[in-house]
Amino acid sequence: MRLNGIEIDNVPAELHGMRLLDYLRTERGLTGAKEGCGMGECGSCTVVIDGAAVTSCLVLVGQVLDAEIRTVEGLADAGHGPLQRAFVARQAVQCGYCIPGVLNSCAALLDRVPDPDDEQIRTALDGNLCRCTAYNRFYDAVHDAACERRTDQAGQA
């Protein structure tokens, strides 16, 4: 697998049956992904696998040996610093628990759809539960990040 841009080709066979969530947290020290429900319902364990937001509690390590995986720790290096800054600026971060998964879902969306509308953001966040109902702030932050990324890309062209 390739994890946050680093090739990992020596995952021991005894770990192939481990949940990806546990592997990331205990074997790689990447504790951004959190365990909430452990059943694919809350989204707090969401990471990006081959460009798609996926709940890592439902994935086994052996299923992703050839995959490209990104966790919240790799977001900035993947060009999503603007998204993280926008979440802070919009005061969209009410807790440290759901946000890593929310950010990964939003980042996967922005990689697919550079300028998403509210409906597309809502759909992308369908699997991410936030109990403090900061969703409107999530939308604002995604729009801000999309705008900043477009401006940056125009500047580089």
Measured from the CB of residue 133, what is the shortest distance to ligand FES in angstroms?
7
Give the interface segment with ligand FES, choosing from 30-38, 63-71, 103-111, 115-123 (CB under 6 A).
30-38
Distance of alpha carbon 27 from alpha carbon 24, whole angstroms: 6
Give the interface segment with ligand FES, choosing from 63-71, 72-80, 90-98, 142-150 (CB under 6 A).
90-98
- Sheet-wide strand order for 6-7: 6-7, 2-3, 68-70, 46-49, 52-55
Q: Closer to ligand FES at the Cβ: 41 or 117?
A: 41
Provide the angle, in degrees to the nearest 10, between the axes of the packed helices 81-89 and 135-156. 140
Instruction: Give the three-class secondary structure for 56.
Output: helix
Query: How many CB atoms neighbour CB 156 within 10 A?
Result: 6
Torsions phi, psi for 19 (to 5 deg): -65, 140
Name which position in 18, 22, 36, 79 contacts ligand FES (CB under 6 A). 36
Give the interface segment with ligand FES, choosing from 6-14, 61-69, 97-105, 111-119 (CB under 6 A).
97-105
Within 99-128, the residues that bind ligand FES by CB under 6 A are 99
Residues of this chain that bind ligand FES (CB under 6 A): 35-38, 40-45, 55, 57, 94-95, 97-99, 130-132, 134
